[in-house]
């Protein structure tokens, strides 16, 4: 894009913060440049739900660094509208969500809120409030969801860091389609006391950034226990991230996780990533994954959450929900307590199956981020997934099984850009570690980043 500022070419938020602290760069100039870039990108790709032109940063590890927040998390002074036209007139939030408050206390400039599908209910980029968020690599292809705007905001230079959520794929999928890094940490590592039910919860907070270093920096700021999140209370403090390395690590490759198929180009990119890890000294083995597709359990658990929220609505109110969300609510209202308990048992079985691999000495699991990358921007969330020209089943069931699996098991997982598709869209792979092993996971991702750096969005050269 013509007139692109120096800021948009500097993807390293840590370097920005250091320059601000040292007085080598004016934080106010950074803020103004970020706003100019945000307005330009918004006009074409629409990644923002609201832009705060009065935002200011402070002192600290993220001094003056622009950061965006998904529009299902509260930012004081801005409305939380959940991507829904029904909440278009929502009043501004009074307080920051816990993670947002921690970012702000670290000096971040909370520049605005990024788009999401309605109530974060689909893995795509459409919202009744903000319309369609476009993929800047190829506008005909989805940007991924539900944190649709988060990846777009990072890759186009609006902000080096984005805070999002991840209950089924919602941090890692948009990161993969943007060509940036997306971390879903261990369940509870970033506290999320905003969820109504804290014990069977699997809704994580996640981070997207253009570099692994920035993911690690942001995680160091937002991680830590909170008295209202039971999962956060069990975590020991996270140590420093070691030097980048996978030397000697055992890496297990799962090409599928209960889904029927993966496209040829996604499989090729995943195997190429595995080979790169091998070249760095990892011991890599590809095996069939015997774990069941997580979608059966995931649907019962997540759609029950939706039903608890929307089930008391009138028929007229329910009719205003997007069709995929309304169908999920209707299905959940027909389930019994036994159905819910069986889903919880299935979730435990998934955890134990994954955990068994780490117990047997596996250090990391490598998977695709999704089964195919040529999913249209206008994809019907109730339609089928097409893989290499063949419809293979329901979109969510077949597309993002490798991601939703680790939401249910709670293991930390990071999406990493690995290749470019024939349609010019990034292809991401997912690296997973044992519970609480974020530091080791980030060190491995940083080693991969050194030999497979993320692609540079061509808009920067325009």
| CATH at 225 | 3.90.1300.10
Q: Is the pTM of this model over 0.95?
A: yes
Given the residues 121, 127, 146, 263, the one annotated as active site: 146
* 325 located within any domain: no
Cβ distance 142 to 125 under 8 Å?
Answer: yes
* 302 located within any domain: no
* 305 located within any domain: no
* 328 located within any domain: no
Q: Which residues pair with 205 in a beta bridge?
A: 165
Tally of domains within the chain = 1
What's residue 316's pLDDT? 85
Cβ distance 111 to 55 under 8 Å?
Answer: yes
Provide the 10 A C-beta neighbour count for residue 451.
Answer: 12
Does residue 146 have an active-site annotation?
yes
What's residue 7's pLDDT? 53
- Rounded Cα distance, 177 and 155, in Å: 10
Q: Please choose, from the candidates 353, 364, 360, the residue with its C-alpha nearest in 3D space to the C-alpha of residue 434.
A: 364
* 73 located within any domain: yes
Given the residues 117, 121, 127, 170, the one annotated as active site: 170
What's residue 386's pLDDT? 98
* DSSP SS3 for 183: strand
Provide the domain limits for residue 178: 7-296+336-461
Cβ distance 115 to 42 under 8 Å?
Answer: no
What's residue 4's pLDDT? 40
* 221 located within any domain: yes
The two tokens of residue 336 are 């019994």
- Rounded Cα distance, 261 and 372, in Å: 9
* 320 located within any domain: no
The pLDDT tens digits of the residues spanning 107-164 come to 999 999 999 999 999 999 999 999 999 999 999 999 999 999 999 999 999 999 999 9
Cβ distance 130 to 117 under 8 Å?
Answer: no
- Rounded Cα distance, 377 and 417, in Å: 20
DSSP 8-state symbol, 376: B
Does residue 170 have an active-site annotation?
yes
* 311 located within any domain: no
Give me the average pLDDT of each 10-residue run along the chain (462 residues): 46 93 96 96 98 97 98 98 97 98 98 98 98 98 98 97 98 98 98 96 98 98 97 91 97 98 98 98 97 97 96 88 96 96 98 98 98 98 98 98 98 98 98 98 98 93 54
Cβ distance 206 to 413 under 8 Å?
Answer: no
């Amino acid at each position: 894009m013509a007139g692109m500022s120096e800021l948009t070419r500097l993807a390293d938020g840590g370097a920005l913060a250091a320059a601000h602290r040292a007085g080598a760069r004016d934080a106010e100039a950074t803020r103004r440049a970020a706003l100019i870039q945000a307005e330009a990108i918004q006009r074409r790709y629409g990644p923002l739900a609201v832009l705060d032109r009065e935002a200011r940063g402070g002192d600290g590890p993220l001094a003056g660094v622009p950061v965006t927040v998904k529009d299902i998390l509260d930012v004081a002074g801005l409305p939380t509208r959940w991507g829904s036209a029904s909440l278009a007139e929502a009043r501004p939030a009074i307080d920051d969500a816990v993670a947002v408050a921690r970012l702000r206390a670290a000096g971040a400039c909370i520049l605005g809120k990024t788009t999401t599908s309605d109530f974060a209910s689909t893995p795509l980029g459409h919202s009744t409030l903000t319309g369609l968020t476009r993929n800047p690599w190829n506008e005909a292809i989805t940007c991924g969801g539900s944190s649709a705007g988060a990846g777009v905001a990072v890759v186009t230079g609006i902000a080096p860091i984005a805070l999002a959520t991840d209950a089924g794929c919602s941090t890692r999928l948009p990161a993969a389609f943007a060509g940036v890094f997306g971390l879903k940490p261990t369940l509870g590592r970033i506290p999320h006391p905003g969820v109504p039910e804290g014990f069977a919860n699997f809704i994580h907070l996640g981070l997207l950034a253009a570099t692994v270093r920035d993911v690690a920096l942001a995680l160091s700021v937002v991680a830590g226990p909170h008295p209202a999140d039971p999962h956060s209370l069990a975590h020991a403090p996270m140590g420093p991230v070691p030097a980048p390395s996978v030397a000697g690590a055992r890496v297990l490759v799962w090409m599928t996780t209960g889904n029927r198929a993966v496209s040829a180009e996604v499989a090729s990119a995943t195997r190429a990533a595995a080979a790169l890890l091998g070249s760095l000294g990892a011991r890599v083995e590809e095996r069939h994954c015997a774990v069941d597709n997580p979608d059966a359990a995931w649907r019962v658990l997540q759609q029950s959450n939706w039903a608890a929220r929307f089930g008391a609505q009138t028929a007229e109110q329910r009719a205003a929900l997007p069709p995929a969300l309304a169908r999920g609510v209707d299905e959940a209202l027909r389930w019994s307590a036994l159905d819910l308990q069986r889903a919880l048992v299935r979730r435990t079985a998934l955890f134990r199956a994954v955990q068994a691999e780490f117990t047997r000495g596996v250090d990391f699991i490598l998977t695709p981020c999704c089964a195919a990358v040529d999913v249209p921007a206008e994809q019907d969330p109730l339609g089928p997934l097409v893989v290499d020209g063949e419809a293979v089943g329901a979109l969510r069931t077949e597309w993002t099984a490798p991601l939703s699996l680790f939401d249910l098991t709670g293991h930390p997982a990071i999406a990493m850009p690995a290749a470019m598709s024939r349609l010019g869209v990034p292809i991401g792979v997912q690296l997973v570690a044992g519970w609480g092993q974020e530091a080791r996971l980030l060190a491995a991702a940083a080693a991969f980043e050194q030999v497979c750096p993320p692609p540079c969005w061509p808009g920067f050269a325009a």
